[in-house]
Every structure is written in structure tokens, then in C-alpha cells.
Structure 1
Amino acid sequence: MPRLVDPTAAAYYVGRPVGTLYRWASEGRIASHGGQYDIDQLRPATRDEWTREVLEAGPAPPLPQRAPRAA
């Protein structure tokens, strides 16, 4: 069962803009469930302990494997 979060919370979690999540969903990197995202498909950003500033954004999920094109 997916643990769903809204786009704003997911963007904060990974330390990237909301538009990046939309792009990842359109590319098939992550699944969108009615405009929400499964937090288990995302990797967290590294943040400063005191300021919560992003030190390193979470890595991008891999692109899905595609079948090779027929010649």
C-alpha cells in the first residue's frame, strides 16, 4: 500500500521544485496517484540540521526500462 503525500510535501522531502516531480511522473520515474506521490519511491534530500537548508537534493529516480525498437 503506497504512502501518499501531496506534491508540496514530496518536493520538500526531495529538495527539488514541484515541477521536477511532475516531470518525473510524466517520464515514468515515479507513479502519480490522483496528484499525490508515493514517498517510498523518493529519496530524501540532505538538509542542514539547524537551518533545514538543502545541502544535497535527493537523487532522481531511474528512468524506466524501455523495450528496444524493432529495426
Structure 2
Amino acid sequence: MPPHLVTEDLAAYWTGRPAATIRRWAAEGRLTRHGDTKRRRNGVLYDLAELPAANRDNDTRELITPAEAPPVIDHGLLAA
């Protein structure tokens, strides 16, 4: 199944966290950055499947609690 890629702003809304947190999670290896040169801002997209969802009110969509930080992604590059 191909990834469902979203912009930084949508990733921030989905998680209930600031855009700076999304960038930090990516720098820490918690999220995969997907490049897209057609995008106007920074050309980076994030896979929605890697983003934890915030807890929001079903009616108003108001943020109740932001999402917890995702785990660091293990790419299997280190030998045990």
C-alpha cells in the first residue's frame, strides 16, 4: 500500500503538535521525510501512517490531548 503523504501543516494538525515538533521528530528518526519538489514550502511530506493521532472532540474537533511521540524507526541498519 503506498504511503498517504501529507504536508507539515497537516501532520501538525493530525498530531496536535506544532510544526517544529514534526520537524524535530523527523530529525530524531521518528518520522520519514519524503521529498516532493513540486511543493511550494519546504518540499517535505510525511506519511500519515507514521503519525500518531491526537485526541480531538468528535463534534468540535477541538484538541483534547496531543499525540505521544512516535518511536524511533528501526531501519535495520545496525548489526546486533
Matched, 1:58 2:62: no
Identity %: 45
Partner Cα separation in structure 2 for residue 64 and residue 43 of structure 1:
13
Partner Cα separation in structure 1 for residue 72 and residue 48 of structure 2:
17
Q: Which residue of 2 aligns with 1:13?
A: 14
Point out 4+ residue stretches in structure 1 off by more than 3 angstroms.
64-67
Aligned residues: 67
Partner Cα separation in structure 2 for residue 64 and residue 14 of structure 1:
17
Gaps of 5+ in 2: 36-43
Q: CA, structure 1 residues 5+64, in 2 after alignment: closer, same or farther (shift >3 Å)?
A: closer
Q: Which residue of 1 aligns with 2:4?
A: 3
Q: More helix per residue: 1 or 2?
A: 1
Gaps of 5+ in 1: none
